[in-house]
Protein backbone atom coordinates (compact mmCIF):
# COMPACT_ATOMS: atom_id res chain seq x y z
CA UNK A 1 0.00 0.00 0.00
CA UNK A 2 1.28 3.45 -0.90
CA UNK A 3 0.53 5.63 2.14
CA UNK A 4 1.50 9.30 2.21
CA UNK A 5 1.47 11.90 4.95
CA UNK A 6 0.83 15.57 4.26
CA UNK A 7 1.60 17.61 7.36
CA UNK A 8 1.31 21.23 8.37
CA UNK A 9 -0.11 23.53 10.99
CA UNK A 10 -3.23 24.20 8.89
CA UNK A 11 -3.89 27.41 10.82
CA UNK A 12 -6.21 27.75 8.93
CA UNK A 13 -6.54 25.33 6.03
CA UNK A 14 -6.50 27.15 2.68
CA UNK A 15 -7.55 26.34 -0.87
CA UNK A 16 -3.86 25.71 -1.54
CA UNK A 17 -3.85 23.01 1.14
CA UNK A 18 -6.97 21.52 -0.43
CA UNK A 19 -5.30 21.43 -3.84
CA UNK A 20 -2.38 19.52 -2.29
CA UNK A 21 -4.78 17.09 -0.61
CA UNK A 22 -6.74 16.46 -3.83
CA UNK A 23 -3.52 15.77 -5.73
CA UNK A 24 -2.20 13.44 -3.01
CA UNK A 25 -5.47 11.46 -2.89
CA UNK A 26 -5.15 10.87 -6.64
CA UNK A 27 -1.56 9.62 -6.29
CA UNK A 28 -1.71 7.39 -3.22
CA UNK A 29 -3.75 4.54 -1.78
CA UNK A 30 -4.12 6.40 1.52
CA UNK A 31 -3.33 9.94 2.62
CA UNK A 32 -2.91 11.00 6.23
CA UNK A 33 -3.33 14.74 6.68
CA UNK A 34 -1.48 15.45 9.91
CA UNK A 35 -1.62 18.57 12.02
CA UNK A 36 1.82 19.07 13.46
CA UNK A 37 1.80 20.68 16.88
CA UNK A 38 4.80 22.94 17.45
CA UNK A 39 4.78 24.46 20.96
CA UNK A 40 7.09 27.24 19.71
CA UNK A 41 4.54 28.39 17.13
CA UNK A 42 1.61 30.59 18.15
CA UNK A 43 -1.53 29.43 16.37
CA UNK A 44 -4.75 31.37 15.87
CA UNK A 45 -6.91 28.27 16.16
CA UNK A 46 -6.69 25.46 18.69
CA UNK A 47 -5.76 21.95 17.58
CA UNK A 48 -9.40 20.88 17.99
CA UNK A 49 -10.60 23.78 15.82
CA UNK A 50 -8.04 22.95 13.14
CA UNK A 51 -9.10 19.29 13.27
CA UNK A 52 -12.74 20.33 12.86
CA UNK A 53 -11.94 22.55 9.89
CA UNK A 54 -9.81 19.90 8.18
CA UNK A 55 -12.41 17.22 8.71
CA UNK A 56 -15.16 19.51 7.38
CA UNK A 57 -13.29 20.30 4.16
CA UNK A 58 -12.01 16.74 3.53
CA UNK A 59 -15.23 14.89 4.38
CA UNK A 60 -15.70 13.67 0.80
CA UNK A 61 -12.33 11.91 0.50
CA UNK A 62 -12.61 8.20 1.23
CA UNK A 63 -8.86 7.43 1.16
CA UNK A 64 -7.98 10.06 3.73
CA UNK A 65 -7.77 10.44 7.48
CA UNK A 66 -6.90 13.45 9.63
CA UNK A 67 -4.60 13.08 12.64
CA UNK A 68 -2.43 15.12 15.00
CA UNK A 69 1.19 14.54 15.93
CA UNK A 70 3.48 16.37 18.29
CA UNK A 71 6.93 16.29 19.81
CA UNK A 72 8.47 14.27 16.98
CA UNK A 73 10.06 14.82 13.61
CA UNK A 74 7.71 14.47 10.67
CA UNK A 75 9.77 11.64 9.20
CA UNK A 76 9.56 9.71 12.49
CA UNK A 77 5.81 10.26 12.57
CA UNK A 78 5.58 9.04 8.96
CA UNK A 79 7.54 5.93 9.91
CA UNK A 80 5.30 5.33 12.96
CA UNK A 81 2.17 5.24 10.77
CA UNK A 82 3.94 3.18 8.10
CA UNK A 83 3.79 5.94 5.49
CA UNK A 84 6.09 5.42 2.53
CA UNK A 85 5.89 9.04 1.38
CA UNK A 86 5.90 12.58 2.70
CA UNK A 87 4.10 15.18 0.58
CA UNK A 88 5.46 18.74 0.61
CA UNK A 89 4.33 21.79 -1.32
CA UNK A 90 6.79 24.09 -3.05
CA UNK A 91 5.52 27.62 -3.72
CA UNK A 92 8.73 29.64 -3.81
CA UNK A 93 12.47 29.28 -4.23
CA UNK A 94 12.92 29.62 -0.46
CA UNK A 95 10.38 26.80 0.07
CA UNK A 96 12.44 24.66 -2.30
CA UNK A 97 15.72 25.34 -0.49
CA UNK A 98 14.20 24.56 2.91
CA UNK A 99 12.34 21.44 1.72
CA UNK A 100 15.36 20.14 -0.18
CA UNK A 101 17.45 20.35 3.00
CA UNK A 102 14.71 18.64 5.04
CA UNK A 103 14.40 15.90 2.39
CA UNK A 104 18.08 15.04 2.83
CA UNK A 105 17.86 15.10 6.62
CA UNK A 106 14.75 12.90 6.50
CA UNK A 107 16.56 10.51 4.18
CA UNK A 108 19.41 10.26 6.70
CA UNK A 109 16.89 9.26 9.38
CA UNK A 110 14.64 6.99 7.27
CA UNK A 111 15.97 6.25 3.79
CA UNK A 112 12.87 4.15 3.05
CA UNK A 113 10.55 7.20 3.15
CA UNK A 114 10.42 9.24 -0.04
CA UNK A 115 9.61 12.94 -0.09
CA UNK A 116 7.41 14.06 -2.98
CA UNK A 117 7.29 17.75 -3.95
CA UNK A 118 4.14 19.17 -5.51
CA UNK A 119 4.04 22.54 -7.22
CA UNK A 120 0.61 24.16 -6.93
CA UNK A 121 -0.89 26.05 -9.85
CA UNK A 122 -0.42 29.82 -9.99
CA UNK A 123 -3.72 30.63 -8.29
CA UNK A 124 -2.50 28.87 -5.13
CA UNK A 125 1.22 29.60 -5.30
CA UNK A 126 0.97 32.74 -3.16
CA UNK A 127 -1.68 31.48 -0.76
CA UNK A 128 -0.61 30.66 2.79
CA UNK A 129 -2.31 30.58 6.16
CA UNK A 130 -0.15 33.50 7.27
CA UNK A 131 -1.15 35.54 4.23
CA UNK A 132 -4.86 34.85 4.83
CA UNK A 133 -4.64 35.87 8.49
CA UNK A 134 -2.65 38.98 7.51
CA UNK A 135 -5.51 40.16 5.29
CA UNK A 136 -8.03 40.11 8.14
CA UNK A 137 -9.22 43.36 9.65
CA UNK A 138 -9.34 46.22 7.13
CA UNK A 139 -12.67 47.11 5.59
CA UNK A 140 -13.63 44.56 2.93
CA UNK A 141 -11.34 41.82 4.25
CA UNK A 142 -14.16 39.28 4.23
CA UNK A 143 -14.54 39.46 0.44
CA UNK A 144 -10.78 39.46 -0.02
CA UNK A 145 -10.11 36.21 1.86
CA UNK A 146 -13.19 34.37 0.64
CA UNK A 147 -11.31 33.34 -2.53
CA UNK A 148 -8.44 31.80 -0.57
CA UNK A 149 -10.21 29.48 1.88
CA UNK A 150 -12.99 26.86 1.78
CA UNK A 151 -16.42 27.99 3.00
CA UNK A 152 -16.31 26.27 6.44
CA UNK A 153 -12.94 27.93 7.10
CA UNK A 154 -14.25 31.29 5.90
CA UNK A 155 -17.11 31.07 8.42
CA UNK A 156 -14.61 30.22 11.21
CA UNK A 157 -12.42 33.19 10.29
CA UNK A 158 -15.40 35.57 10.32
CA UNK A 159 -16.55 34.21 13.71
CA UNK A 160 -12.99 34.47 15.07
CA UNK A 161 -12.74 38.10 13.93
CA UNK A 162 -16.13 38.91 15.47
CA UNK A 163 -15.00 37.41 18.80
CA UNK A 164 -11.79 39.45 18.67
CA UNK A 165 -13.71 42.64 17.96
CA UNK A 166 -16.20 41.95 20.76
CA UNK A 167 -13.32 41.36 23.19
CA UNK A 168 -11.71 44.66 22.16
CA UNK A 169 -15.00 46.52 22.58
CA UNK A 170 -15.47 45.05 26.07
CA UNK A 171 -12.07 46.27 27.25
For 165, phi and psi rounded to 5 degrees?
-65, -40
Q: How many angstroms separate the CA atoms of 47 and 68, rounded?
A: 8
Residue 80 marked in a binding site = no
Residue 91 marked in a binding site = yes
Residue 27 marked in a binding site = no
Residue 62 marked in a binding site = no
Instruction: Check if the beta carbon of residue 14 is closer than 8 Å to that of residue 127.
Output: yes
Residue 89 marked in a binding site = yes
Q: How many angstroms separate the CA atoms of 52 and 48, rounded?
A: 6
Residue 99 marked in a binding site = yes
For 30, phi and psi rounded to 5 degrees?
-150, 140
Residue 90 marked in a binding site = yes
Cα dist from 148 to 34, 71, 103, 143, whole Å: 21, 30, 28, 10
Residue 129 marked in a binding site = yes
DSSP conformation class of 45: S
Residue 63 marked in a binding site = no
Residue 51 marked in a binding site = no
Residue 41 marked in a binding site = yes
Residue 7 marked in a binding site = no
Residue 107 marked in a binding site = no
Residue numbers in the known binding site for ATP are 9-10, 17, 89-91, 99, 124-130
Residue numbers in the known binding site for substrate are 9, 41, 74, 88
Residue numbers in the known binding site are 9-10, 17, 41, 74, 88-91, 99, 124-130
Amino acid sequence: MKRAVYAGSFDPVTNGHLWMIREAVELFDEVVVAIGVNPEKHCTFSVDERLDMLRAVTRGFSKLRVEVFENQFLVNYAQSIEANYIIRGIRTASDYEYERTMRYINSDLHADITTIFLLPPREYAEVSSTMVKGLMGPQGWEQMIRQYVPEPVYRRLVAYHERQQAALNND
